[in-house]
């Protein structure tokens, strides 16, 4: 290609400069035109309406129904009956032959403590009974004839001595008045007379006691002393019997808590015995469900896949304040002893619920307490509807308010919806 010729004249220089200026202004003008064209195009797009997306959903007809609630509760197995067996007296254990796993019956001898001291106590109280019995017999029967006769002789002897002293005193007194004897001899005789009179009074009193018998209060005292001795003997015998330890229930020895040779005090447990032919479990039933439980009904009990029937035998009368549950005692037969106390079992019971409106859990959107809603199909649009939810049974939520039977609630595709969205029903149920 031939190169353009350059005119170096003054006129040529001016024309070249003018051509360059023209090119410099054409670029901004072109850009302004492009911007105007773009702006016009943008305004044209805003004015064209965009078609709203129709969202596909699945609906379900709202209806009232009565769902069956399955209550599953766990608790620990316990012996049907159990007891901590202990001595009622202290002592050193000299016999302790039973071991864990041994079956025992009520009344069987289990252990014994040294009973030497207790046997001595029994012997001592027996002697006291014999002594008090002899005293009581003597008081009640009175004196023998020989004793009465001897007492009478003593009275006669004292009477004769008193009479003789009286006569001697009269004779001495006369001589003293005549100054025939000294005052000392007179006083000596006077004392002798007084002693004779005193001896006579004592003999007469002793004779009276023997012939009239003991006083009523003496008899009462002797009777009371005898009865007290008998009671002491019975108490000592009872204590001696307590040196032997007997089983209080039928059952199996679950644990041995002491050894022969140990010194134990009263009340110290020696054996733990339990009846494991039957076991029991106390189920923590929520108080709102307790009305569905009845004494005598059957409950399914499961342990490691094995199921047995349990029988409700007792419903506790009070609520546990810390858990809000009420204990329900269930009895389980265990003839082979192949279920063990301490194992955790699961109890299952079907409970008929109250009639109400229930929807699938996935149909409800909840943002906290008191803020829950669903979407209802109304004329092809998703309408946001506030609801109040209640219990959850079988993966369904109870709707206490906000829905009525016959409405079409959206159960699938809810997470993509906004209030007023156009929807297309792809499946569901009719009312």
Q: CB of 104 within 8 A of CB of 380?
A: no
The tokens of 224 are what? 């009371």
**Of all residues in the chain, what percent carry a pLDDT higher than 70?**
81
- pLDDT-derived band of residue 141, with 50, 70 and 90 as boundaries? low
Q: Are 295 and 275 in contact (CB under 8 A)?
A: no
β-pair type (423-428, 55-61): parallel
3-state secondary structure 168-201: HHHHHHHHHHCCCCCHHHHHHHHHHHHHHHHHHH
145-177 vs 183-212: helix crossing angle, rounded to 10: 160
Instruction: Determine the average pLDDT of the residues in 237-246.
Output: 95
**Backbone Cα Rg of the chain:** 59
Residues 6+ apart with CB under 8 A from 354: 66
The whole-angstrom separation of Cα 431 and Cα 426 is 16
C-alpha span between 89 and 111 (Å, rounded):
12
| CATH (residue range 84-115+244-270) | 2.40.50.100
Query: How many CB atoms within 10 Å of residue 172?
Result: 20
Burial class (CB in 10 A: 0-12, 13-18, 19+), 15: exposed
Q: What is the mean pLDDT of residues 366-383?
A: 87
What gap in Å lies between CA 396 and CA 286, rounded to an integer?
A: 20
* Strand pairing class (356-360; 344-352): unpaired
- Per-residue pLDDT of 28-39, as tens digits, reads 333 333 333 433
Residue with tokens 């009478």: 152
CATH class of 73-79+274-351: mainly beta
What's the DSSP call for residue 232?
H
State how far the alpha carbon of 413 is from the alpha carbons of 58, 293, 373, in Å.
7, 40, 14
Domain 57-66+355-428 falls under CATH 2.40.420.20: yes
Distance of CA 237 to the CA centre of its chain: 37
The pLDDT score that the predictor gives to residue 92 is: 96
DSSP 8-state code for residue 231 = H
Mean pLDDT of the chain: 82
Cα(372)–Cα(416) distance, rounded to whole angstroms? 16
Least confident stretch, 133-147, 195-209, 240-254: 133-147
Burial class from Cβ neighbours inside 10 Å (0-12, 13-18, 19+) for residue 181 reads middle
Q: What is the pLDDT of residue 209?
A: 66
86 touches 269 (CB < 8 A): yes
Q: What is the pLDDT of residue 190?
A: 86
Would you state the structure tokens that stand for residue 142, as one six-digit string? 């009175």
Burial of 203 (0-12, 13-18, 19+ CB in 10 A): buried
For residue 5, pLDDT over 60 is answered with: no
d(CA 383, CA 11): 81
Can you give the pTM of this predicted structure?
Answer: 0.55
Q: What percent of the chain has pLDDT over 90?
A: 46
Q: Does pLDDT of 113 surpass 70? A: yes
d(CA 240, CA 124): 13
Kindly list the distances between the CA atom of residue 236 and the CA atoms of 5, 228, 242, in Å, as whole numbers in the listed order: 153, 12, 10
pLDDT in tens, 203-222: 888 777 666 655 677 778 88
- Percent of the chain as helix, strand, coil, to the nearest 5: 40, 35, 25
Please name the helix (run of DSSP H) or strand (run of DSSP E) that holds residue 138, with its range, or none. Answer: helix 116-141
Res 121 pLDDT > 90:
yes
- Give the separation between CA 11 and CA 58, rounded to whole angstroms: 85
Encoding tokens for residue 190? 């006077």
State the number of CA atoms in the 13 A half-sphere of 15 facing the CB.
7
Q: What is the pLDDT of residue 353?
A: 64
CA distance 150 to 161: 17
Chain segment 275-315, per-residue pLDDT in tens: 999 999 999 999 988 988 999 999 999 999 999 999 999 99
């Amino acid at each position: 290609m031939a190169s353009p010729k350059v005119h170096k004249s003054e006129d040529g220089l001016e024309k070249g400069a003018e051509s360059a200026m023209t090119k410099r202004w054409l670029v901004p003008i072109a850009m302004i035109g492009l911007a105007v064209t773009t702006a016009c195009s943008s305004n044209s797009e805003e004015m064209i309406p965009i078609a709203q997306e129709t969202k596909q959903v699945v609906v379900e007809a709202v209806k009232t129904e009565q769902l069956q609630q399955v209550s599953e509760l766990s608790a620990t197995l316990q012996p049907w009956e159990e007891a901590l067996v202990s001595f009622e007296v202290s002592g050193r254990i000299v016999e302790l032959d039973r071991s864990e796993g041994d079956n025992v019956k009520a009344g069987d001898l289990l252990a014994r403590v040294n009973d030497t001291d207790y046997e001595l106590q029994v012997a001592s109280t027996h002697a006291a009974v014999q002594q008090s019995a002899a005293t009581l017999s003597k008081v009640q029967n009175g004196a023998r004839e020989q004793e009465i006769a001897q007492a009478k002789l003593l009275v006669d002897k004292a009477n004769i001595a008193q009479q003789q002293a009286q006569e001697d005193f009269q004779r001495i007194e006369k001589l003293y008045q005549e100054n025939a004897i000294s005052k000392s001899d007179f006083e000596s005789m006077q004392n002798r007379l007084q002693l004779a009179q005193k001896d006579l009074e004592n003999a007469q009193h002793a004779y009276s006691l023997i012939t009239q018998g003991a006083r009523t209060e003496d008899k009462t005292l002797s009777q009371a002393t005898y009865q007290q001795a008998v009671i002491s003997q019975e108490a000592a015998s009872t204590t001696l019997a307590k040196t032997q330890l007997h089983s209080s229930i039928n059952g199996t020895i679950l644990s041995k808590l002491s050894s022969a040779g140990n010194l134990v005090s009263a009340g110290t447990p020696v054996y733990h015995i339990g009846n494991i032919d039957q076991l029991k479990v106390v189920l923590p039933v929520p108080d709102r469900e307790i009305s569905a439980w009845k004494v005598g009904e059957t409950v399914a009990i499961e342990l490691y896949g094995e199921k047995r029937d349990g029988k409700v035998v007792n419903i506790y009368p009070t609520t546990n304040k810390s858990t809000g549950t009420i204990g329900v005692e269930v009895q389980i037969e265990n003839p082979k002893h192949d279920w063990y106390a301490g194992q955790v079992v699961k109890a299952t019971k079907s409970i008929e619920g109250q009639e109400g409106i229930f929807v699938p859990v996935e149909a409800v959107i909840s943002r906290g307490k008191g803020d829950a809603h669903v979407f209802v199909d109304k004329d092809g649009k998703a309408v946001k509807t506030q609801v109040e939810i209640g219990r959850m049974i079988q993966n369904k939520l109870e709707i206490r308010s906000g829905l009525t039977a016959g409405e079409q609630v959206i159960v699938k595709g809810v997470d993509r919806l906004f209030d007023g969205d156009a929807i297309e029903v792809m499946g569901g149920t009719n009312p």
